[in-house]
Amino acid sequence: MTAAAYDRLKARFARIALLDESQAMLHWDAAAVMPAGGGAARGEQLATLAGLSHELLTAPEMAGDLAEAGAQSGAGAEVGAGGEWDGANLALMHTAHRRATALPTALVEASARAASACESIWRTARARADFGLVAPALKEVVRLQRETALALADATGLSPYDALMEGYQRGIGAAAVEPIFTAYETFLAEALPRAEALQAARPAPVPLAGPFPVAAQQVLCREMAERVGLDFTHARLDESTHPFCGGTPTDVRITTRYNTASVAQALLGVLHETGHALYERGLPAAHARQPVGEAAGMAAHESQSLIIEMQACRSDAFLGFIGPRLHAAFGGDAAAFAPANLAGLWRRVERGFIRVDADELTYPAHVILRFRLERALIGGELEVEGLPAAWNEGFARLLGLTPPDDACGCLQDIHWYDGGFGYFPSYTLGAMAAAQLMRAARAAVPGLDVALGQGNFVPLREWLRLNVHGQGSRLGFQDLLRAATGKPLDPADFTAHLQGRYLTA
């Protein structure tokens, strides 16, 4: 192996990363500020950038440099002063190249173009609750995703759906996820009625009296994001239809949506996206724009948003801190902002149609449904025309409700309409990992909850920076959890968390 070949690879991957960063900023712009008439041009821009990135990754000289640098001699080869980091980086380069060379540039560009066009139509279809409006565009997205999945499966030896999953979270496929989800479905069937009964036996919480002016919410959301640790010299907070975190590690863009009738929607959304943003900000700067310097995958990413929002910011300790701040910002009855009342409001178990508004206990059911439907779509067992009916049937089976319209059903999420197949399992895998990481953090950091009660996130943030953020993608999802907690993913930590929070009198 030669250092010169590895240096050329690093330079090429840095250029690819810059193109990907440009795409990320264009995606943020499309979701946050782009006028509706810009959609067609934006689709062409994104398709072109995706094509250029793909061409760099599949260029003939890339294969030569990978061979010369020793990528084909096995993952983990040390290629220079970086030692283990360089070895992991080289292995990830090899994986990226193998996946890219499986896909013709024309397919990559067509997929990007179709997803951009479909997403634009979806925004109107969702507002009108009209699936038929977007169905033809989604059919084209699914067709291209099936073609992509088959090509990746041939190159990787994985099933078509697993090949898509690997693009979001390497190292865990449908065969591992299915029994985890089946076990959770069994747990939920018993736990949900029990949680509802316990909740009904308690006095109803006092609603927070609105309205909550958007300007005041914006100030509070920014203050709380800063309190958690977001540096706004490297970040922005804006509005979008679907809250998300995008941008780059040095220019993070988070969004939320405001509702004057509820402060929780925007605030908890911002805390969730701040968890994502902290992960991006904490990635190892020494390996920026290299594969090993990226996040470990989307399940890892979701663990970081959920450890902030669900594990820390809905804890009794933090509710005691945030209550007086909410009262100072919005006034009203101080008793409504007491920790026990906020817990009754923000940790309320309630069957509902909308995934992003779901409580911790029922949220995995939303993900299980999407996981099964997208597997069927990619596998050809389900066609786009049958999606609304399959959605409604599956939702009724899992949560006993039938959506009143498609806006509350299969139109509610952006992911499929933007070409994101294989992503959804990451949400619940991330929730499970968040519970496991929080348990380890509490064991490792004495007084962690005391700090959260003071609005002090430094101890938690430093533990995460050391054990998760700063590890980049040097370790896969399971190895990352092993290093941080002493074991691979253990769903029992998640169900124990739910038992303690929702199933005790």
Burial of 397-425, coded b for 16+ CB within 10 Å and e otherwise, reads ebbeeebeebbbbbbbbbbbbbbbbbbbb
Q: Residue 190's closest CA among 504, 505, 503?
A: 503
Q: Is 68 a catalytic residue?
A: no
Amino acid of residue 59: A
Q: DSSP string spanning 48-101?
A: HHHHHHHHHHH-HHHHHHHHHHTGGG-TT---STTTHHHHHHHHHHHHHHHHHH
Do residues 111 and 127 lie in contact, with contact meaning Cβ atoms separated by under 8 Å?
A: no
Do residues 71 and 77 lie in contact, with contact meaning Cβ atoms separated by under 8 Å?
A: yes
90-92-93 Cα angle (round to 5) = 65
Query: Distance between CA 216 and CA 260 in Å, rounded?
Result: 10
Query: Distance between CA 251 and CA 21 in Å, rounded?
Result: 10
Which residue of the set 109, 119, 166, 273 is catalytic? Answer: 273
Q: Residue 96's closest CA among 47, 52, 155?
A: 155
> Computed from CA positions of residues 34, 425, 197, 203, in that sequence, does the dihedral angle turn out positive or negative?
negative
SS3 318: helix
Query: Distance between CA 20 and CA 291 in Å, rounded?
Result: 12
Catalytic residues: 273
